[in-house]
Amino acid sequence: MTDALRRWNRHTPREALQEVLPCCGSRTWAAELVKRRPLADRATLLAASDEIWQNLTASDWLEAFRSHPRIGESRPSQTASAQSAAWSSQEQQKVADANDAVKIALADANRVYEDRFGYIFIVCASGKSGPEILEILQRRLHNDKNAELHEAAEQQRQITQIRLNRWLSE
């Protein structure tokens, strides 16, 4: 068991919720994870996270999406915690290094995406360049609304797993 997990298992429910919430952004997900304490190890935590995520409602997923800045923007959403904003910045580092043409194309495609689907584009950006993300965004614009919601939810699940692992390693 990591030190972070040992400490988190001993927190009050409120403290535990606040500490883990930046990993996902859904209060329901965080509350359900807190209810499962004590969690014995990393594998148990990650499995519980996935199980909870898969059983959430679309509104819970959308809440998690709102905790992210748009791809290519450094400004976090108003609901994002400082920790979530810092992780987003790390995750989007390669996008920040993209040339101006890619950044403009991403901003334009983000607007089209939001108009089409009603929420920001969510992608697990870790390790992906600006042009790679732009290609993914353009491809996903062809999804129907239901397929895209599930694709975005899967991307959020991957982001959550990465963030949980970072949190456990701090």
Residues that are catalytic: 68
Whole-number Å distance between alpha carbons of 97 and 19 = 30
Q: What is the DSSP letter of 66?
A: T
Copy the structure tokens of residue 118: 């009603």
In 78-164, where do the E strands start and end?
none
Residue 123 · residue 137 · CB < 8 Å: yes
Cβ contact 161:50 at 8 Å: yes
Rounded Cα–Cα distance for residues 111 and 94 (Å): 20
For residue 91, CA distances in Å to 2, 11, 46, 131, 150 come to 23, 28, 19, 15, 21
